[in-house]
Chain A
Amino acid sequence: MRPLFARCADKTSALPGVRVERTANIPLAAWPVARPADRPRVSARRFAALLIVSACLSAALASWLPLQVSIVTVFLFAGPHNWLELRYFLMRLPARFGRSRNFFAVAFAGIGVLTLGYLALPALYYTNVWSGENWPVAIATWNTLLLLWLAALVILRSKQSSRRDWSWALPAAFALSAVNWLAPELFSLAIVYLHPLVALWFLDRHLRRTRSEWLRTYRRCLLLLPLLMVGMFWQLFGTPSLADDNGLAWRITQHAGGQLLPNVSTHLLVSMHVFLEMLHYGVWIIALPLIGATGAIWSTKTIPLARRRGGFPKTIAAILSCSLFAVAVLWMGFTLNYAATRDVYFAVAMAHVLAEAPFLLRMI
């Protein structure tokens, strides 16, 4: 069977009956429906009901037992959601970079440099290279590099189409950098809370391409999100802070911003953060793989880089296998020493947070 991208007729190709299409214009058929009769017939109403029930259940669980739910969800879903993200990104990589070569070069270079920088920060702190006073400057510098990298990606993406002019990204990045330098730790905390919402944007773009009939329903359901957050704020605002007398509870509350916002109940902060994380895990583990997917998720036939002539099927399979092994190691680490494994995981997981940016831009 010929690869998907070569099926269409090419006006310029020397080979008759072969047309090359831009990857961005090809519908997301990587998980195509084999036969229309096999496609599960779920109405938009049932989809909306599933979304609403899931969101309400997540908010209720996160509000009721924030620490316990945080521990359980990270243990169960952190590794698998990273693996599924990797699989999705591999599927979104074009078979040949072509005009997107510069974009992906900047993307991968940025992911590498920023991840190494992020990992180096605490290491340099513990070796006393940074003093306590310079810590905000170090964080602000890293945040500034992140913002400039994002601006570069946005501008490079806009140059791939003459109809787009996204040069406003540069003044926006500078403005956000200014805010960042005023309060770098709060800016980093804002990233912690905003990152889970990026998955909702991915789902929006994915629905636009594969299930456009559900898109309007999905966007209406998104209106429930601020209502749920306001409701959680109203209910949990006056609650006493969580007891953080052990190392793990202290880590969880600090991750949610307990030290940066001492006037806000850590019960509220942790609940809000856990709720957003559950939405994030739900999108990557359940929604995206199920919507429009057929075949096994471990199959590499739907990955363009593995499928094309002269591709890398064995390399892609090895990457996916090693990633599965890493998930198993992560579970073992959580079982043996949850707190330490959690620290290591959230440091290394910055790479997946960064990787979401270029792939989301490719879908816009």
Chain B
Amino acid sequence: MKRTLILSTAICALLISAIYAFGDIARPKVSPSPGEGKIVFHTSLLVTSDSKASEARLQISQETLKRIREATADASVNESLTQRIVHSSTRTMMAGVFMFLAVSFAGVWLARSSQRRGRKAVAAVLLGAFALGAGAIIVRANAGPPGYLRWQGLPQNLTKGRPTGGGVQIEIVPGDDGMKLIVPLRIEEKSSEE
């Protein structure tokens, strides 16, 4: 008993002393973060080469420019699908109401269906699960494969004079540094033999 008490006291003292040890660590310096950009909407971009051109040109269609103006003028800019759903309380509420009704009526139907229709009941449950899963996928997924896949052929296409197209997010950043195109290229580092 006495040994247990001493041992417990020693452990507690050790743990309490750790607080002082951590308390002596300097707080991480919070560096001022650069102005974060705001994605206003998603569209498509085609990168092509022109051997006769002397200057690079960025061609923006009138419709796209109009959308950029509208999006930047409006506080609730065009967001991703997930953000649109999350920020649209009406649609979220209605989706929730209909999901509740679907589950409720499916439960009533399952309860009333006879044992002979067990397979149909299972199919109905699967359909409901599929609908919920599809809804989750639509909310969480971005249609199509990851965007960087479409840009992997950019270096070769530029060399061969072929255009390369893919999705692009128009991001408005603070400052006055002109425009910058960031292409998601996965560069494989070649191992050099020395």
Contact = CB atoms under 8 A, between A and B. Distances in A.
Contacts of B84: 136
Interface string A79-121: 0000000000000000000000000000000000000000000
A264 interface: yes
A187 to B, nearest CB: 9
A263 B102 contact: no
B159 interface: no
Contacts of A167: 109, 112
Interface in B53-71: 70
Nearest to B76: A133
Contacts of A241: 44, 46, 165
A182 interface: yes
Contacts of A172: 102, 124, 127-128, 131
A137 interface: yes
Interface stretch (A47-55, A173-181, A304-312): A173-181
A26 interface: no
- SS class of chain A's interface: helix, strand, loop or mixed? helix
A161 to B, nearest CB: 15
B138 A183 contact: yes
A126 interface: no
Contact of A178 (B43, B70, B135, B145): B135
A179 B134 contact: yes
A182 B102 contact: no
Given A168-B124, A263-B144, A174 B105 contact: yes
A10 interface: no
A186 interface: yes
A171 B144 contact: no
A162 to B, nearest CB: 14
B120 interface: yes
Interface stretch (B14-22, B93-101, B185-193): B93-101
The main secondary structure of chain B at its interface with chain A is: helix
Query: Which among A168, A186, A264 has the highest number of chain B CB atoms within 10 Å?
Result: A168
Contact of A263 (B96, B143, B153): B143
B138 A182 contact: yes
B91 A178 contact: no
A137 B127 CA distance: 25
A11 B159 CA distance: 84
Contact of B144 (A132, A168, A181, A261): A261
A175 B132 contact: yes
Contact of B91 (A170, A176, A182, A238): A182
A197 interface: no
Interface in B127-182: 127-128, 131-132, 134-135, 138-139, 142-145, 147, 150, 153, 163-167
B12 interface: no
B33 interface: no
Given A136-B91, A140-B94, A263-B145, A171 B128 contact: yes
A174 B101 contact: yes
Contacts of A171: 101-106, 109, 124, 128
B3 interface: no
A16 interface: no
A184 B124 CA distance: 23
A136 B84 CA distance: 10
Interface of B: 42-44, 46, 70, 76, 81, 84-85, 88, 90-92, 94-96, 98-99, 101-106, 109, 112-113, 117, 120, 124, 127-128, 131-132, 134-135, 138-139, 142-145, 147, 150, 153, 163-167
Interface of A: 132-133, 136-137, 140, 144, 165, 167-168, 170-172, 174-179, 181-184, 186, 238, 240-241, 260-265
Pairs A-B, 10 closest by C-beta atoms: A263-B144, A174-B102, A175-B131, A178-B98, A171-B106, A175-B102, A181-B95, A171-B105, A177-B98, A174-B101
5 contacts: A178-B132, A240-B164, A263-B145, A263-B166, A264-B144
